[in-house]
Structure 1
C-alpha cells in the first residue's frame, strides 16, 4: 500500500479510494438510456473522468470501483489502462454498494479511505488532500461549500411555504474521507441492524457515533445529474488546453523474415534493423505523445546504448509515454499513424494495428487511425531500403495545461 508523501498539512498514511458507480439512475435524460456514469463527456465516460482525477492525484495505490454486475466487463475494459484499479459488485442501495467496496479493501486495510461519486468528474487534487489531512480515527472529513442562494421550502404544488435560514448550511460533496476501520465497523453495524436507508457516507458515520469535520470543497466539484449539468460540463471541457505532438521515425530494412509495425508482426522478406524491435509506427507515436507535454523523445527515456531495451517490444515505449501524459494531467484525444513503405501491404493488417493502438492508449476505436502510403518508387523507401512512419497525437490538459 502506498504511503503518502510528506506534504504541508498532510500526515504520512496509507490511502485507498472507493468510486461508487453501481447506480442505474437515468435522470440525465434522453436520448441516453443508460446510467449517467457511462454518458460521454468530451468523448469519454463520466466514470473515467472521475477515476482519472483520483489516479492523477497520486494519493492512492488502490482504487475500488463498485459497479452493477451488468457493467463489470465494460468497466474493466474502460479502466484497463490505469494501474491500481480493483472492482466490486454493487448492491441494491448506495449504502450496500459502499459496503461492498469496503469489504473489497478488507485485506489491504488502508489507514484511510475516501469514498467518491462516479458522477463527480471534476474533483481536484487540493480537495482530496484537504480531506485526507482532516481524517482522524473517530473523525471523518466532508468537503463542502456554503450555500449562497436563498433557500425556500416548497409544497407539492410548487407554492413557497417558507424561507429557510441558510446559516450554517453547506452543500456536501465527495470524496468523503474516513479512518478505514471506523467506517468499515459502522457499515457492518448498519447491515447487522438492518439499516439500509443511508444515502450519504458521513450519515452512516454520524449514526455510529463518529464526528464529521467539514473541509473546504470546490465549486467545480459538481455532481452531474440532470441534462443541464452535462451541457455545462461539456462546455467547460471545451475550454481546455489541447496539445498536438508529431513524431517521425525510420529504420533500415535488412535480410529477415518479418517486420513489426504498430504492434503487429507481419511476414516479410526483410526485417527492420534497430536496437529494439524497430517498430517505426510505435516509435513515432511515442515521440508524438511525449511532445505534447515537453517530455523529450524516445531516446531520452530509452537510449539505444541501454542493453535493457535490446530487442524490446515497442509497446513498452508507448505505454511509458501514455503514463507520462497522464502524470501530467493529460487525456489522450486521438492518435494517427501513417506508415510509408513499398511493402508489405498494410491494409490487411490495419484493423489489428488499430486494435493494438487502442489497447495501448486506452482510446475507443474511433479515436485511432492507421494509414499507409508508398513513396512511389522514389528515394530509399522507394528502393525498399527502409520503412518510415509519421505519427500525430492530440492530448487535452485542462485549463491549466500540463503539470
Structure 2
C-alpha cells in the first residue's frame, strides 16, 4: 500500500494571517491544502491519505473534503505540540489501518506544487532503496558554522536542499519515532533528519524547483503565479 501523510498542523505565524492558518488560505475559492490533497487523491498509485490537522479546524477540513470530492482521506487526526509529534500521530493512525510494509509519503499540506511524476518517483525509490528524500540542487553557496567558530563551505555541486515528500517504509519511520520518544527528543526538524540520526541510509531524487513550502506572503504570491502558469500551459500549450 502507498499512503500519503499530509501534515497540516501549523498555525502559519510567519504568514501574518488573521483568522485562519496558512493551509486554509484560499485562491480562487479553494484552500491551499485542497490543491495539495487533489494531487495525491488523483494519483493512481496512492491508495489512501491520512491528514494531521489543527484540532479546531478538523470540521472545516471535513467540509472541504466533501465539497471538492476528495475521496482517499481515510483519517484526520489532531496534531501534537511539535511537528515531529504531529507526524507521529499520523503514522500511528496509518499503522492502525495498513500493514507495516506500506510506503508512507510524508508531505506538507502547504506544498501544493508537487507533481505527479515526483510522487511516482518517490514510490519507486522506496521500493528499490527503502527511502526517498525529494530534493532540489543548491543554487547558492552554503556556509556552515562549526562549534569552534570556524566556517566550512561545502561544494555547491555536492549540496542539495531537502523538500518533500520524504518517503519511507512505515515500519522504519515508526521505529525511528519510537527511539526518539525513548530519548525524549521532540526537536527533529524533519523526517530525513531523524532517519539520518538513527542510522538509516537515505536516497534522494531531484524534484521540481517550484515545489515550495508556502510559509511567507511572498511564497503565497509565487504559488498564485505558478497556478496561472500551469493553467496557461494546459490551455495554450506553452
- Give the TM-score category using the shorter length: 0.7 to 0.9
Match of 2:93 in 1: 104
Structure 1 residue 120: Cα displacement: 0.2
Structure 1 residue 191: Cα displacement: 1.5
Where does structure 2 lack aligned partners over 5 or more consecutive residues?
A: none
TM-score (norm 2): 0.86
* Structure 1 CA distance for aligned equivalents of residues 136 and 230 of structure 2: 25
Structure 1 residue 139: Cα displacement: 3.4
Distance 1:141 1:153, change over 3 A: closer
Structure 1 residue 138: Cα displacement: 7.2
1:15 counterpart = 2:8 = no
Structure with higher strand content: 1
Cα shift readout 1:101-131 (whole Å, capped 9, x = no counterpart): 1100113125211000011001001111111
Cα shift readout 1:286-331 (whole Å, capped 9, x = no counterpart): xxxxxxxxxxxxxxxxxxxxxxxxxxxxxxxxxxxxxxxxxxxxxx
Distance 1:179 1:164, change over 3 A: same
* Structure 2 CA distance for aligned equivalents of residues 127 and 218 of structure 1: 8
Match of 1:134 in 2: 125
5 Å matches for 1:216-231? 216-231=206-221
Of residues 70, 74, 79, the one that matches 1:90 is 79
Cα shift readout 1:120-165 (whole Å, capped 9, x = no counterpart): 00100111111111115973210101111234579xxxxxx97833
Distance 1:102 1:213, change over 3 A: same
Cα shift readout 1:179-203 (whole Å, capped 9, x = no counterpart): 1111111112212221111111111
Q: Is the 8 A contact 1:136 1:178 kept in 2?
A: no
5 Å matches for 1:1-400? 14-30=1-17, 32-80=18-66, 81-85=69-73, 86-107=75-96, 108-109=98-99, 111-136=102-127, 139-151=130-142, 164-165=153-154, 166-241=156-231, 399-400=233-234
Match of 1:351 in 2: none
* Structure 2 CA distance for aligned equivalents of residues 173 and 151 of structure 1: 16
Q: Which has the larger radius of gyration?
A: 1
Q: Is the 8 A contact 1:42 1:237 kept in 2?
A: no
- SS of the residue corresponding to residue 79 of structure 1 reads helix
Distance 1:192 1:162, change over 3 A: closer
Distance 1:192 1:201, change over 3 A: same
Structure 1 residue 167: Cα displacement: 3.9
Structure 1 residue 33: Cα displacement: 4.1
Structure with higher helix content: 2
Bigger shift: residues 182-191 or 138-147: 138-147
Where does structure 1 lack aligned partners over 5 or more consecutive residues?
A: 1-13, 155-160, 242-397
* Structure 2 CA distance for aligned equivalents of residues 75 and 42 of structure 1: 17
Structure 1 residue 25: Cα displacement: 2.5
TM-score (norm 1): 0.52
Structure with the bigger RCO (C-alpha within 8 Å, sep 6+) is 2
